[in-house]
A = this chain, B = another copy of it.
């Protein structure tokens, strides 16, 4: 199969070209290394090697920055941005710049040094997802910020510098362009159809049922029609909501459960690939963007895929999402 497919939301065209595809399990792999546990700053007992914690879920009788926590949020020791200071916008010759103000936090997901999401207790995963929600709610009060990016790099080849499971949060004084493109696309669609584009996608996928990997009461996991990468998976809430932080506590459980399932399936299908996932949610200062719908995009990083795409923004995907879905379903 060789065809162009258009991402309904952003208008981005991709090529599905399976003629040279290998069987899913035959991709060249990047290894996912595990660091030495003895020197890991994210392990219990090594809390002094990180900046003091911002918040942690821990038994009431344990003091801050000591073992016992389940999920622990700290400032990034090597932050890309400074949290103190004013957001100053200025010209730099003909260009534009803004002072490098923002929050850059690390969410240590578990005390376990080398367990991936699917190996954690459900409650541990619920706590990770609850931490995302509560960090957004906290940082939202800082009027300097326009957007909060929450993402995970797992594996060196996906950008992680430490192997102990952790997510990152970056609060920004502007909206990232990729989110802006989604917002613009979703808005245009809403103006034309008077329906949420993501709700339409969910309905279409449930109807055709060729790209739905799994679902539960509250969430659906699918390989998107115009997948940029092999085995790209999106997780969307069935209940329309623009903002992740609106998630209800009972929904957190179903999100944790579907994230664990997808994580397990991807690890089985692709032999523990490095991966990224990214939470796409509303900008902070737009409290009810009725046309937007939060979701999580998961991208396994396979060797030899993506070199070309860096420079071009044009993606060639050697695996049909329908094939990837079938393979993931059967696992």
Contacts and interface: CB of A to CB of B under 8 A. Distances in A.
Interface of A: 1-6, 8, 10-13, 15-17, 19-20, 78-82, 92-100, 149, 151, 153, 156-161, 170, 172-174, 176-179, 181, 200-201, 204, 207-208, 225-226, 274, 276-278, 297, 299, 301, 304, 306-314, 316
A78 B17 CA distance: 10
B100 A17 contact: yes
| Tally of this chain's copies | 2
A80 B276 contact: no
Given A13-B177, A80-B17, A276-B311, A2 B301 contact: no
Nearest to A147: B314
Contacts of A2: 80-82, 99-100
Contact of A312 (B176, B201, B225): B176
Contacts of A308: 151, 153, 159, 276
A208 to B, nearest CB: 6
Contact of A149 (B5, B100, B177, B314): B314
A194 to B, nearest CB: 15
Contacts of A94: 8, 200-201, 204
B304 A156 contact: yes
Nearest to A20: B78
Interface of A is mostly: mixed
B12 A313 contact: no
Contacts of A301: 307, 310
Nearest to A12: B177
A100 B304 contact: no
A217 B226 CA distance: 44
A200 B95 CA distance: 11
A162 to B, nearest CB: 12
B5 A96 contact: yes
20 contacts: A2-B100, A3-B98, A4-B97, A4-B98, A5-B96, A6-B96, A8-B95, A13-B98, A13-B176, A13-B177, A15-B80, A15-B100, A94-B204, A151-B308, A151-B311, A151-B312, A153-B307, A156-B304, A158-B307, A161-B304
A100 B176 contact: no
A16 B12 CA distance: 27
Interface centre among A17, A304, A308 (most CB of B within 10 A): A308
Nearest to A154: B307
Nearest to A4: B98
Contacts of A100: 1-4, 15-17
Nearest to A224: B95
A225 B201 CA distance: 38
A174 to B, nearest CB: 5
Contacts of A10: 177
